[in-house]
Every structure is written in structure tokens, then in C-alpha cells.
Amino acid sequence: MSLLDARGLRYEVGGQAIVRDVSLAVARGEVVGLVGPNGSGKTTVLRSVFRALRPTGGAVWLAGEDLFSLPPKQVARRMSVVAQDSPMEFDFTVREVVTMGRFAHEGGGAQDAEACQRALDLVGLTELADRSVLTLSGGERQRALIARALAQNGELVVLDEPTNHLDIGYQHELMRLLTGLGMTAVAALHDLNLAAGYCDRIYVLRAGLVVAAGTPEQVLTEDLVEQVFGVRPHLVAHPASGRPQLLFPSKENP
Ligand SMILES: Nc1ncnc2c1ncn2[C@@H]1O[C@H](COP(=O)(O)OP(=O)(O)OP(=O)(O)O)[C@@H](O)[C@H]1O
């Protein structure tokens, strides 16, 4: 049984369907990427998955249970979320923000403190733990949100463009964390090479529909990328991993 099983998701706004018929499954231990052009519906699908909005049609199952019939606190405990550009308007310290990831747990002080410290170490923010989040750079802030999700220690991590604001080093660090810690995750990603390098499977969305799904090798073909994104890449196999990587046009090679 998949840990996450979303079937036939549909979402309409003002009579127009922005997500039309999306089915998506994530098995335990899998890291699944969701890619697609701007406006293709990635955020809308993920918001349905973490229950920030109720889809107009379809259903979401978490370990075989209907997500929308579970108590909200249980969902908050079982699912860690890194939403897109979450606002941080209040003068909390980094450690306080990370501790918010523990709110749905019954654990208590020592256990919470330990989980938070571990999360801060994993994202490299221990030295900034007592700084106000209002003073953080975009990348530091994003790492604080990732640490909050890690501290939460849910069965499933849902991430919406988590590498936004992160430099190349932290982008890979994050993907290494997700895959290396054996997490179950679904992430909307804009960088196709990052998705190809780390995801077990990839779903490609276009105009609210899944147009391809499978391993990076199955999905990321030159034709598919050109059809969906309007730019034709040159596909190479990474010399070390064999995973597909895409080389995009340049001035000399338009
Ligand atoms: N509440 C809403 N009302 C009207 N249109 C909406 C609403 N929410 C989303 N949309 C539209 O639905 C489409 C899909 O949006 P969504 O944010 O899911 O796409 P996305 O794939 O995450 O895009 P991006 O890569 O740009 O972040 C977009 O065209 C967006 O403008």
C-alpha cells in the first residue's frame, strides 16, 4: 500500500478546472518529484495533499485513511510541510520557529529540544539558533522552514519548491538529506536536473494534468521536455551515476 495515494484530484476556481485529473502515489521511503511549467498546478496539487485546500473532486489517502476524515492534529503530526515562501512576520528566534514543528507531538520538553537541535544541525543553522528569523537571508529562512519540517518528523514530507533561495550547495544538501535519511517525500521542483539526480520517480504536470510519470530515465526525454517546457535539451547520462541530466541551449547553441 502507498503511504500517500491521491486519486483523480480536481480543483476548480470560478468554473475553471486548474487541476483536472491528477493521481499520484508515494510509497514509503520514496522521494517523488513533481515538475511542470509555471501555472501547471503543482502547488494546487500539493496543497490538496497537505490539506490546505479541499479538492473539488477526487480523494487523498494517507496510509489507507481518507485524509479529509482524519483529525487535523493527526495530519499535522504525520505530515511535515515546507510550503512555498511561508511568511515569517513575527519576531521569533530560529529555534522557536523550528520548535513549532513539534506542536502536534505529545513528547514534551527534552524530546522536543533534542528533535529541534538535530534538525538545526542537519540544515547547518545551529549557530543562528538564537537569531530572530526576521534577520535571516532568504536561504537561511528556507533552511529554518526545512528544519521545522525535519523536527516534526512526520511520516511524509511535502515540499513546494524547497530549493527556492538555496545556493547550489544547499540545494544538493537538501536533496541528500531527503534521500539519505530514508524519508518519504513529495516535492515540487523546478530544477529538472535536481529531480533527475535524486528522485525515485517523477510526475510531469501540464495544464492540470499528469502527462508523464515514472523513473527519471523513463520520463525526462528530450521530446517530453520540449513538448512540456518549450525548450529542447540535450540528454546525457551522468558519467558516475548513469542518471539522465539535461544540457540546455546556450548562445552558441540556441
Ligand atoms: N485561487 C485561485 N484563483 C484563481 N486561479 C488560481 C487560484 N489558485 C491557482 N490558480 C491558477 O491555477 C494555475 C495553477 O497554479 P499553481 O500555483 O498550482 O501552479 P504551479 O504549477 O505551482 O505554478 P508555479 O510553478 O508558477 O509555482 C495558475 O494559473 C494559477 O494562476
pLDDT at 85: 67
Q: Which three cell numbers stand for residue 56?
A: 473539488
Show me where the domains of the chain are located: 4-247
Q: Which of 152, 153, 156 is nearest to 25 (CA)?
A: 156
pLDDT in 10s for each residue of the chain, 254 residues: 899 999 999 999 999 999 999 999 999 999 999 999 999 999 999 999 999 999 999 999 999 999 999 998 889 889 999 988 676 778 899 999 999 888 777 666 788 889 899 999 999 999 999 999 999 988 898 899 999 999 998 999 999 999 988 899 989 989 998 898 889 999 999 999 999 999 999 999 999 999 999 999 999 999 999 999 999 999 999 999 999 999 999 999 88
Residue ID of nearest Cα to ligand 1 atom 27? 38
CA-205 nearest atom, ligand 1: 21
Q: Which of 155, 49, 138 is nearest to 104 (CA)?
A: 155
Please tell me the distance from the alpha carbon of residue 22 to that of residue 186, in angstroms, as a whole number: 14
For residue 61, the cross-strand partners are 5, 66
The CA radius of gyration of the chain, in Å to the nearest whole number, is 18
CA 74, 195, 254: angle at the middle one, nearest 5?
A: 145
Please tell me the distance from the alpha carbon of residue 119 to that of residue 148, in angstroms, as a whole number: 7
Q: Which three cell numbers stand for residue 92?
A: 521569533
CA of 59 to the centre of ligand 1 (A): 20
pLDDT at 104: 72
Choose which residue among 40, 211, 229 to substitute to test ligand 1 binding: the one with the highest number of ligand atoms within 8 A of its C-beta: 40
CB 245 within 8 A of CB 196: yes
Please tell me the distance from the alpha carbon of residue 36 to that of residue 40, in angstroms, as a whole number: 6
Neighbours of 234 (CB within 10 A): 11
pLDDT at 103: 76
pLDDT at 116: 93
Q: Which three cell numbers stand for residue 218?
A: 523513463
Give the chain's length: 254
CA-46 nearest atom, ligand 1: 18
pLDDT at 182: 86
Q: Is the CB of 43 under 6 A from ligand 1?
A: yes
Strand pairing of 79-82 and 156-160? parallel
Please tell me the distance from the alpha carbon of residue 232 to that of residue 103, in angstroms, as a whole number: 46
* Superfamily (CATH) of domain 4-247: P-loop containing nucleotide triphosphate hydrolases (3.40.50.300)
Place of cell 536561504: 139
Please tell me the distance from the alpha carbon of residue 88 to that of residue 85, in angstroms, as a whole number: 9
